Amino acid sequence: MRPRFVVAAVLAILVVVAHFAAASGYVVILKNGHKIRCKEAMQIDGDVALITLVTGTVSSYPVNQIDLIETERYNQQGLGDALEIEELLVDDQYLPTPTPKRPLGAFVTLDSMDRNPELKTTLAPTATPTPGIRLQTYPYHDERVTRAFEKVFGDEKLYLYHTSGGTQPKYFFVQAVTDSEEEVFRALETVCHAFYLIRQADAELAPEIVELQMVQTSRKPAGTFRITPENAEELLSGSTSVQSFYIRNVIF
């Protein structure tokens, strides 16, 4: 009976090892709910996502067909392709996806900004899956900076948000409510736009980092970021698409 027990134990170990080996893969989730098993993380080139299938074949897929938020959320859980999912054939036909761009606008000074804060949400703050990056109970230490962010947010019609101090004294925190991929990308661009303008107006008063947490009305996380001045300039310069920026910088 002992040899049978040993064989069974070995087989069980092999199953566990195979499971964790499979979990090293990458999964691309489409907006229609289908999942594509991949050997490695996808690469975004303009309007096209380059995907390396588990067979080693490199295929392209339109970015506007991919649920970038769910793809990154899923893969950051470390599940890989251990789940039994459907690998799709990739169609060579796709529609181009325009890259959202916003003008930088005229440079301003903090003192010239309207002191009346724009409308903003009264929703309660939410918990965050990213340790430390969350809405704090205290405001940012310089009210002029808060007013400047609020002014740009109002001009850009970003109304559903909270602000506070960040995880460091010179870090500014923004929590934005975003219920769609379009709203996620627009909030990301708007926050970068505001950060850029404030640094141009007064680099000494401006925050060193902007921490951005995006959540849906249902409290589901939509992406967390630590945005540096270099990050903001990169996105606003148009040198990278907002989709590619999201994939490379989201930390959930």
Q: What pLDDT is attached to residue 132?
A: 82
Same domain, 129 and 198: yes
- pLDDT tens for 12-26 read 444 443 444 444 689
pLDDT over 80 (residue 48) = yes
Based on the fold, state whether residues 200 and 148 are members of the same structural domain: yes
Contact 63/47 with Cβ under 8 angstroms? yes
pLDDT confidence tier of residue 232, bands split at 50, 70 and 90: very high
- Collect all residues with Cβ–Cβ distance below 8 Å to 89 and sequence separation of at least 6: none
Co-location of 71 and 114 in the same domain: no
Residue 102 resides in a domain: no
Same domain, 118 and 212: yes
pLDDT at 46: 87
- Range of lowest pLDDT (101-115, 124-138, 175-189): 101-115
Q: Are residues 71 and 132 in the same domain?
A: no
> Residue 237 domain-assigned?
yes
pLDDT at 86: 43
The residues near 75 (Cβ < 8 Å, ≥ 6 apart) are 26, 27, 41
Instruction: Indicate if the pLDDT at residue 228 is higher than 60.
Output: yes
CATH for 25: 2.30.30.100
- Confidence check: pLDDT of 117 > 90: no
The predicted-structure confidence for 50-104, as pLDDT tens digits, reads as follows 999 988 899 898 999 999 999 998 888 876 655 544 444 444 443 344 444 444 4
Is pLDDT of 120 > 80?
no
Percentage of residues of the chain with pLDDT beyond 90:
60
Residue 137 within any structural domain of the chain: yes
Q: For residue 182, give Cα distances in angstroms to 19, 57, 155, 179, 189.
A: 36, 30, 18, 8, 11
The first and second tokens of residue 113, run together, are 């900004």
Burial of 102 (0-12, 13-18, 19+ CB in 10 A): middle
Q: What is the count of structural domains for the chain? A: 2
| One domain, residues 172 and 244 | yes
Task: Tell me whether residue 40 is in a domain.
Answer: yes
The residue type of 51 is I
Average pLDDT over residues 30-51: 91
Nearest alpha carbon to residue 154 among 115, 180, 200 = 115
Residues 66 and 161 in one domain: no
Instruction: Please give the residue range of the domain that contains residue 155.
Output: 110-249
What pLDDT is recorded for position 14? 40
Residue 219 in any domain: the answer is yes
Query: Does 88 reside within a domain?
Result: no
Task: Please give the C-alpha separations between residue 210 and each of 151, 199, 201, 224, 227, in angstroms, as whole numbers.
Answer: 16, 11, 16, 11, 5
What confidence score (pLDDT) does residue 201 get? Answer: 96
Residue finishing a domain among 27, 48, 75: 75
Mark whether 24 and 122 lie in a shared domain. Answer: no
Q: What is the pLDDT of residue 25?
A: 80
Q: What is the pLDDT of residues 121-175, one digit of tens each?
A: 554 554 445 568 999 999 999 999 999 999 999 999 999 999 999 999 999 999 9
Nearest to 42 by CA among 23, 63, 11: 63
Write down the pLDDT at residue 114: 52
Q: What is the DSSP string of 69-86?
A: HHHHHHHTTT-TT-S--P
Q: Quick check: helix, strand or coil at residue 215?
A: strand
**CA–CA separation, 112 and 232 (whole Å):** 22
Same domain, 122 and 62: no
Do the domain assignments include residue 232? yes
To which H or E segment does residue 67 belong? Answer: none
Same domain as 226, residue 132: yes
| 170 domain residue, yes or no | yes
Lookup: tokens for 156: 């850009």
Confidence tier at 252 by pLDDT (50, 70, 90)? confident
Residues 149 and 239 in one domain: yes
Q: Which residue has the higher pLDDT, 227 or 91?
A: 227
Residues 11 and 66 in one domain: yes
Write the CB contacts of 39 (distance below 8 Å, at least 6 apart in sequence).
Answer: 25, 26, 52, 53, 54, 56
Q: Is the pTM of this model over 0.75?
A: no
Q: Is 65 helix (H, G, I), strand (E, B) or coil?
A: helix
The torsion of the CA quartet 115, 119, 122, 127, rounded to 10 degrees, works out to -80
